[in-house]
Structure 1
Amino acid sequence: MQPSDLQSGPAVSTARATIDRHARELSQQIARHPAAGIAACFGAGYLAGKLPILRFITGAVRLALPLGPAALAVVGAARVWNLLAPPAPLGEVPAREEGEALNQLLATALASRESYGRAATRFEGEDRRLVEHLRAVHDDAVRHLKRAVQESGVFPLLGNSPWDGLVDQLAHATGGRLIGSSLFPLMLAAEEATVRALEEALLSASFGEDHKTLIRRHLLPRVQENLNSLLRQRPQAQPQLVAVSP
């Protein structure tokens, strides 16, 4: 084992970062309260002169010497395991990378759910039921994606919708029809963007096969049906519907 290995490991780096952080905090406290800092330094020096520091250090060294060979053996065994351990199976996605990719899908689902929740109160009758149905689909997607993110070891997003301010600006009037509102093309574009994001996820190397199956069999078909529900509202004789994945 090279000396540099002992000086550049993750534990050493963490210890150095902790020491640096405490040193910065201490210097800031002394800068804010110089009199208290001088008194503390004087007290520390007085105690250092009174306490048997050398005896403590000598005792610690004597205690560590018998444990040195065992500690070196453990470190050496860990290094050998890292060298000889079989590599991860080809094509397996690191859990954290997959969790971050799932979080991006979760952000879209959260934005849609919260935005439809705000928009639903702007309409009545069939229009309101349609918007509430669209929201329910994204609410179901949020539950599935949150669970998938947690299973990958990443903290799931809780965030606010980036659409909140936009929806408030676009949906001022109540009692109007959805098809004639300025919110309708935004909803249509959002559903189309969500379909594209899920289709791209199926082609991405950032997702494992289990989560691609969830997207293919559950999330994508329901969002495609959302898009078709909106397309049916357009005043066209024969709207071009999106094919729903099996």
Structure 2
Amino acid sequence: MIDKQVASAADAVADIPDGASLAVGGFGLSGNPTALIEALLAQGTTDLSVASNNCGTDDWGLGLLLGAKRIRKMTSSYVGENKEFERQFLSGELELELTPQGTLAEKLRAGGSGIAAFYTRTGVGTQVAEGGLPRRYAPDGSVAVASPKKDVRVFDGLEYVLEEAIVTDFSLVHAWKGDRHGNLVFRKATRAFSPLAAMAGRVCIAQVEHLVEPGEIDPDDVQLPGIYVHRVVEVGPDIDKRIEKRTVREEA
């Protein structure tokens, strides 16, 4: 019997060193592992390379680490809603590996499944496959680092581009419910990337709203088995949650 519960978010992330790579769950601001991110910010960890669908907003989620200049590189599919992200990228302070959303999800899943790489139709005929996407700008606005050309092969008369899996040192995720063995249940949009990010980390750390005893989660309800999870910390159901926009138009 393995009890994976740790006492606090600070204890859970205490061994994440400078220069570590992280896979971080969340979809927009839904399911951001905010307690773990804030603990990482408080302990001063820097020079991080992060794979996540997006980078939060200027004052929330991964945006907190970005604003403190703790992130060296982002691998993301959506980079809006964050003015500091734009500023750092265009000024050459931040490296960005812009990745199609479905491809990013599969790269994380493949990393957690022991698959080194895979071929996909997504990106064929674009700079995703042909190379040349800016990854880092120089201070004068020129492209200092560009994406490389990727291998393209033909299967059944159609071209496919080779994408390598993502495996990171650690992964940080938020789940609605978990047990002390690390079995997790996610809610709604948080399930889009969080299980995949969890799988990709060599050490997975999960914050959960509700921590229950082993056996209390029906096996059919488990969305990520505990074999992928190494540490669990309970943060409670009252943890602050945000969305980017509450309305999309002004009232008439």
Flag whether TM exceeds 0.5 (same fold).
Answer: no
Higher helix share: 1
TM (norm. structure 2) is 0.21
Q: Which has the larger radius of gyration?
A: 1
TM (norm. structure 1) is 0.21
